[in-house]
Amino acid sequence: MSSLQVGSFSLPTPQDWHIASVIVVGPPDGAGAGPQGQQFQQNIVVVSEPVEDDENAEAYVQKQTAKLKEQKALFASPGQLEKIALGGHPAVLFEHVVLGPGGERVRQMQVVCVHKGRMHALIASHLDGPRFAAQRSNLRTILTGARLP
């Protein structure tokens, strides 16, 4: 048995298991309730999943965007994909707006990188508008500072 560890949290797992997603939440938003009275807590979700050998970050983003459009969950499509490096590996950074469960507009900044047969997506979310704008630089620093396994 091996173990998966994130910070001080550890979980015993079989040897061939790996972390597929991690959710990190920011401080409660003290700016008051969002649309329809709900509170929103900014967060970062990290997802990792296997992809086909010929898959790249741009193709993965296109597939995911098509799925969001099909589900009518995409409020504003990603603009230009910014090509960046994540730990020395090619990646893309972009923003788009999705509709939350209560109809609220949630802006997401994403970094997507395909490395060693896995897609790694780092997704920072906050309510669209001034709340996200106030955190944009900080979220970009966090996402682009990630290290890949």
pLDDT, one tens digit per residue, over 66-85 is: 999 999 999 998 888 999 99
Instruction: Please give the pLDDT value at position 32.
Output: 46
Measure Cα distances from 95 to 1, 10, 92 in Å: 39, 32, 10
* Domain span holding position 52: 21-144
- Cα–chain center distance at 112: 8
What digits encode the pLDDT tens for the residues 86-95? 989 999 999 9
**Residue 5 placed within a domain:** no
**Which CATH number characterizes residue 83's domain?**
3.40.1000.10
Whole-angstrom distance, CA of residue 94 vs CA of residue 124 = 11
Note the pLDDT of residue 139: 93
pLDDT in tens, 10-65: 778 888 887 777 777 777 665 545 555 556 788 999 998 889 988 999 999 999 99
Assigned domain for 16 exists: no
According to the model, what pLDDT value does residue 61 have?
A: 95
pLDDT of residue 37: 57
On whether residue 9 sits in a domain, the answer given is no
Is this prediction's pTM over 0.85? no
Identify which of 81, 72, 137 has the alpha carbon closest to the alpha carbon of residue 99.
72
Residue 132: pLDDT over 80: yes
47 domain residue, yes or no: yes
* Residue 57: its H or E element: helix 57-70
14 assigned to some structural domain = no
- In this prediction, residue 113 carries a pLDDT of 96
> Total structural domains in the chain?
1
User: In the prediction, which pLDDT does 81 show?
Assistant: 95
64 is a domain residue: yes
Tokens of 39: 């509170």
What average pLDDT does range 89-102 have in this prediction?
92
pLDDT at residue 82 in the model:
97
pLDDT at 147: 85
